Amino acid sequence: MSDNVSAGGGPTEPILGVEGAQEHEDEQAESARRTRFSALGAWWESLPRVGQWGVILPFVLLVFFLPVINPPLITTEPGNDWPLACFDMARFALVALGLNVVVGQAGLLDLGYVGFFAVGSYVAALWTSPDSSLVHIPYLWTLPLAMIVTVVFGVVLGIPTLRLRGDYLAIVTLGFGEIIRLLATIIPAMRGQVGFQGVGHPPGPAQHGVPLFANNHGTPWYMLTVGVIILVTILLGNVERSRVGRAWIAIREDEDAAEIMGVPTFKFKIWAFATGAAIGGLSGALFAGQVGFVNNQKFDVVTSVLFLCAVILGGSGNKLGVIIGGALVSYIPNRFTSIADYKYLIFGVALVLLMIFRSQGLIGARAHLLLFARTARMRTLELLRNRRREPVTTEEAAS
């Protein structure tokens, strides 16, 4: 691990040097804090892939063992179980990752994300709970099944609305989130408030007769979810660097222009919507498994707005940002229980203020996100640098 870091440190120096020289030129234009960040960014860019992995790994390990480490000050107040709070953070982070595909990548406003989350939860419940009359399957199989079912819901909802301007999607999804909850209430087979007890959980060695993935064991559930997050992040990263990801960004930046340039916007909007739905369903199924009980009380539309706030707060379009945003939105009410009652108000106000004062969120999507391929980006940066240096030399010659 440390070998990787030092191996990655080697080739950084010359590029850092170039960057440093250029910073000197722009010194007056940029504040010191900003240069430090861009230097960090340049250093990061200069690392080879393996080196980047090497730097990330310790952080990932730290996050992975968060419930075991239980850091003082950060830990939740006595009433709230820390590992379970960790699971909740991971769940929100996963949801935020999924919603980020729709809102952050493709620029479509989905206000009923909790609907997909609910569908995922109900899939897990219907096919594993003893209360359900359907055929039962092992819990882990419900995760892909939940994704498939939510994709179907996403496509059915997306086809009529995604042909139109984005506003309609916002209100249709807002309605969808509420309708799923209502359907769960009024269709007898969905059992309303009575709900489904004993939702399944993954297999694991039992200790003292308590299964590993018991409802009150936050740690294994947290680790499972973090594993899923890592997997999803890597897969999403690959999708974003592909044609699909470039199409999403083109749609987000200017839909009409994208259409004119030959991007089949409708198709890629459906893709984004379905991808987001699948991740929502996945996190819903995980949530159902951890809680072990699903009824209609957990899927208010207000939760959708919390999800949206996680994405906006973290920085829509930036995967790391939304993961942090999701974790924060879950963490703040758990950590500071005195303000938990005000959380919806706080996050509602936060949405308005963020839009007015810092619409890019805590960690905004990078401006050069448009240039995805690494080598292409490096080459373009080099070109820009050379071009910028030229007038300086001519000026020097003139003086």
Asked if 237 touches other proteins (CB under 8 A), the answer is no
* Partners of 294 in beta bridges: 196
From the list 256, 284, 266, the residue with the least C-alpha distance to 98 is 284
* Partners of 207 in beta bridges: 210
Q: Amino acid letter at 202? A: P
Of 7, 15, 39, 170, the one binding other proteins (CB under 8 A) is 170
Q: Interaction with other proteins in 350-369: which residues (CB under 8 A)? A: 350-352, 355-356, 359
Q: Which is nearer to other proteins, 126 or 279 (CB)?
A: 126
Asked if 349 touches other proteins (CB under 8 A), the answer is yes
Closest distance between other proteins and the C-beta of residue 221, in Å? Answer: 25
Q: Which residue is listed with tokens 């699948």?
A: 278
**Burial code of 279-304, b = ≥16 C-beta within 10 A, e = fewer?**
bbbbbbbbbbbbbbbbbbebbbbebb
Q: CA 126, 132, 134, 138: dihedral to nearest 10 degrees?
A: 60
CA distances from 381 to 22, 121, 331 (A): 12, 46, 38
The angle at the Cα of 359, spanning 104 to 76, to the nearest 5 degrees, equals 80
Q: Interaction with other proteins in 63-102: which residues (CB under 8 A)? A: none
Residues binding other proteins: number (CB under 8 A): 52
Asked if 383 touches other proteins (CB under 8 A), the answer is no
Is the distance from CB of 246 to CB of 376 less than 8 angstroms? no
Of 96, 147, 157, 323, the one binding other proteins (CB under 8 A) is 157
Closest distance between other proteins and the C-beta of residue 280, in Å? Answer: 18
Q: Which is nearer to other proteins, 67 or 154 (CB)?
A: 154
Of 308, 324, 329, 381, the one binding other proteins (CB under 8 A) is 308
Site residues, other proteins (CB under 8 A): 103, 107, 109, 111, 133-135, 137, 157, 159-161, 163-168, 170-172, 174-176, 178-179, 182-183, 185-189, 301-302, 305, 308-309, 312, 341-342, 344-345, 347-352, 355-356, 359
